Amino acid sequence: MTIIERFLSGTYAVRRSAGGQYVEGVYQPGPIEELHVRGSLQPLSPRELKLVQEGTRLKQFWKFFTDVPIGVVGTRTLAQSDVITINGDTYKVYSVEIWQGFGMSYYKSILWREPENT
C-alpha cells in the first residue's frame, strides 16, 4: 500500500492541455486530455499560506498529494497548468515538488482557485 492510498481522499478529474505552438504568428493551443487521478487533498497550514505571493490571500489553496506528477505552466512547451475539479470547482496548479519518503516517491502540488467575481 502506498502512502497516497493510506491517506486517499478521492479520485479527481484532471484536464491537461498539451503544449501549443505558434502558426504564422498566431498561438494554437494543444489538445486537451482528461484523466482521473487518485490523491490526498489537504488544506494548507497557516505557515504554508504565508509562502504564497502577496495579493493572493483571497484565493483558496489546497495541498494535493499524488503518485503521478501534476503539470504546472510550461514555459518551454507553452502548455497551460493542469486544471483539477474538486466538488464542482476548478483549481489550477500553483506549484509541484517531488517528495521522497517511506521508500517511495510521491508529488506534492499546491492548488489554487481564484475568487469568483461578484
Domain boundaries, given as residue ranges, for the chain:
3-18+29-113
pTM recorded for the entire structure: 0.75
For the domain covering 3-18+29-113, report its CATH number: 2.40.10
The beta-strand segments (E) located in 1-118 are 10-17, 21-23, 26-28, 32-43, 60-66, 83-86, 89-101, 104-113
Nearest to 116 by CA among 71, 59, 78: 59
pLDDT digits (tens, 9 = 90+) for 57-96: 567 888 999 988 888 766 555 567 888 998 888 888 888 8
pLDDT digits (tens, 9 = 90+) for 20-59: 788 999 988 888 889 999 998 888 887 877 766 666 656 7
